[in-house]
A and B are shown apart, each in its own frame.
Chain A
Amino acid sequence: MSEHSPRPSRLTRRQAIRRGAGGLLTVSSFPALLAACGDSSDSAGSTAASTAAKTTAGPTPAAEVKGDLVLAGYPDWYGPNEFKDFAAKYPGATVKNVTDGDGTAAQIAQLSKNKGDYDLTLAGINASEQFKLAGLLEPFDPARVPNLKGVGPEFIKAFPYGIPTDFGRTGYGYRKDLISERPTTWKELWELSAKYKGKTTMIKYDSDIQGMALRYLGYSVNTKDDGELQAMQKALMELKPNLKAIIDTDFSKALVQGDVFFAIDYDYDIALAQESNKNIEWVQPTEGVPAYLEGWVALADSEKLPAVWALMDFHLEPKNYASFVNAMGPAYTVQAAEPYIKKSIKDNQVLKYNEAALKGVEFEGFLGPQETAKRGKMWEEFLAA
């Protein structure tokens, strides 16, 4: 996730998911995902090792779980009764969810300006790493969260800042009843968008779109090479005149209605769109796709850390976690929750991962403040062009 632009789908993703069931990742995909994590997971892995070394305590004693916790993140991005159940289990504690900044930069700005007001937040790899560098992050102690054992080890390695909760990929959907072609690559998308001018929509989220263009060109999603970034910008500028819209809400609505033939979109959203229109096909381009991974992290200025660890552990309890997944439908990270997850989510074909597909998945990692600012500027230029 990028600091310089929000994932505007934060709200809309949730809203979109609420329209129906989401879809998801099967257990068999976890080992391959690790291989696909790239740089970010490597660095993250070392951080995980260091945090694990600091482990000194076990589960939080119930008597220490007190206080009114404030979770910053997407509204209602948890199980429908989760916080009520948590308060019932720990009578001295409550949880309030507040919406944080729309995007990593705004999120950091908001959290750093109001230190102590929030106890934990939902964040991606990129934001978490920047929180850490900015001194906003409380080091994660896995021993405090025994239910972490239910999370796929690859996700724990890739997200050592807290508890990984969900992830997703960027690809595209197309209407097989409206075009004769059957594309499988980004290259074909570029060509077909030019052929069917004004018949493609794009999600408005910088790191996902820039990552897409980088993969189209055969570069890493997390490249810092100026030449590669310039080539990426040129490719996006070539694509822009052929787009119908760059949208931050109802990503697949135009595709469902047939106003466009292609929608550059997230996997979960295309899965939902297919429920409305069976003629929509999902493409995970063979050149590779960018992906995000996010989770809950504790904030350094929280004075209620025992309650924070307890809440994290509570969230990862298989039944609680499954209630979150069943309500919101994100790609899930807790294998142990599978028995409680709806079949319609577990068996969704769009998101049914396999070894071959995962080879091309690359997580968006932390680029550093300067690089992120540069990417943000390029994104602004793209939008304003």
Chain B
Amino acid sequence: MSGRLRGLGRQLLALPSVGWTALFFWAPLVLLVVYSFAQTDLLTYEIKYDWTLSNYGNVFQGLYLDAIVRSLILSVASTIACLLIGFPVAYTIARTPGRGQLILLFGVMVPFWTSFIVRTYGIFNLIGDSGPLASLLQTLGIIGDDGLHLLFTPLGVAIGITYSYLPLMILPLYVALERIDPALLDAANDLGAAPHRVMRRVILPLAKPGIAAGCILVGIPATGEYVIPQILGGGKTLMIGNVVADQFLSIGDYPFGAALAIVLTAIVMIALVLLRRGERRPVSA
């Protein structure tokens, strides 16, 4: 009896979370799905529930497909960049003993204490044609007086995404790498494995959950990114997040915006499932 009561108590504890999720996640999502089958009256901009598939048909027009493909390319590129930059950083932190490790982790976390917008504008100024990076490269003779030409380009957007999301890659990688028993690395060394072989056969497989978690944490929000392309893209690098926002905020076509958002959600979910499958695959010896 008391066990059953304890079980009921545990379920009640979950109630606020379930209620919150239902109210602020599932309900809006259901609303989006319903909207996505409706149409907008072009005169009054009121929603007409015609239960049409035309919004989904329009999503796959070239114009919007381009934005989806561009978003996926930028997201994948930024995720890979985060992984390539973040892995050595996370490995270094994981292998740094004592207080040094805390200081390095602190260094990773500090930018997160600043507003996302402020950090993005920081990058805006940094990579500007007459910004400090351009000045430094000009001083070093790497670029000419013509400037850097990074701002308002897809590369500039990718740099912004990579910078902003890097801590989200480093932290799960650090957790995974920190858990690796140093004895395993010693054993590999003792058995004559070269450093690159230790990395490939021991460290990377054991870090796989961290890599997957980092890729999910970076890749998913990056795909629907709105602020960074808005600020660093100069209106010329349109990502799907910007298109969705335009439909709701500017064009007033809620049904089409909803259809775009649902398609984006579906793409992200498919990517998530594929990643999880890859993560569960047994590590080969």
**A residues near B, CB below 8 A?**
3-6, 101-103, 105-106, 108-109, 112-113, 130, 133-136, 198, 202, 204, 240, 243-248, 257-259, 369-370, 372-373, 376, 380-381, 383-384
Contacts and interface: CB of A to CB of B under 8 A. Distances in A.
B43 A383 contact: no
A134 B234 contact: no
Contacts of B151: 245
B282 to A, nearest CB: 43
Interface stretch (B97-105, B211-219, B250-258): B250-258
B235 interface: yes
25 contacts: A3-B252, A5-B246, A5-B250, A5-B251, A102-B249, A103-B249, A103-B250, A105-B250, A106-B249, A106-B252, A108-B45, A109-B40, A112-B44, A134-B44, A198-B149, A243-B236, A244-B234, A245-B235, A247-B235, A259-B128, A259-B129, A369-B43, A370-B42, A381-B63, A383-B238
A130 B254 contact: no
Interface in B15-65: 40, 42-46, 63-64
A198 B250 CA distance: 27
B67 interface: yes
Most buried by A among B45, B152, B246, B249: B45
B130 interface: yes
Contact of B251 (A103, A204, A246, A248): A103
B43 A384 contact: no
A3 B64 CA distance: 20
Most buried by A among B129, B151, B238: B129
Contact of A204 (B43, B130, B235): B235
B236 A6 contact: no
Contacts of B130: 257-259
B243 interface: yes
B252 A105 contact: yes
Contact of A4 (B44, B63, B64, B251): B251
Contacts of A130: 43
B250 A113 contact: no
B147 interface: yes
B186 interface: no
Contact of A240 (B44, B63, B236): B236
Contacts of A246: 234-236
Contact of A6 (B42, B235, B243, B249): B249
Contact of A384 (B46, B63, B234, B251): B63
Contacts of A244: 152, 234
B191 to A, nearest CB: 56
Nearest to B254: A109
A245 B152 contact: yes
Contacts of A372: 42
Contacts of B246: 5, 380
Interface string B126-139: 00111000000000
A383 B42 CA distance: 22
A103 B130 CA distance: 33
Nearest to B66: A384
B234 A245 contact: yes
A130 B251 CA distance: 14
Nearest to A241: B236
A304 to B, nearest CB: 23
A248 B67 CA distance: 19
B9 to A, nearest CB: 43
Contacts of B129: 259
Contacts of B251: 4-5, 103, 105-106, 376, 380
Given A244-B152, A246-B235, 11 more contacts: A4-B251, A105-B252, A113-B46, A133-B43, A135-B44, A258-B130, A259-B129, A369-B42, A370-B42, A376-B251, A384-B238
Contacts of A108: 44-45, 252
A245 B156 CA distance: 12
Contacts of B235: 202, 204, 245-248, 383
Contacts of A258: 130
A109 B252 contact: yes
Given A103-B252, A376-B251, A380-B63, A112 B45 contact: yes
Contact of B234 (A4, A247, A373): A247
B245 to A, nearest CB: 10
B8 to A, nearest CB: 42
B250 A102 contact: yes
B175 to A, nearest CB: 39
Contacts of A102: 249-250
A135 B42 CA distance: 13
Interface string B215-237: 00000000000000000001110
A329 B254 CA distance: 35
Nearest to A204: B235
A108 B40 CA distance: 12
A369 B128 CA distance: 40
A103 B45 CA distance: 12
B249 A101 contact: yes
A369 B44 CA distance: 9
Given A370-B42, A380-B63, A381-B63, A4 B236 contact: no
A135 B46 CA distance: 12
A353 to B, nearest CB: 30
A112 B46 contact: yes
Contacts of B147: 259
A3 B41 CA distance: 13
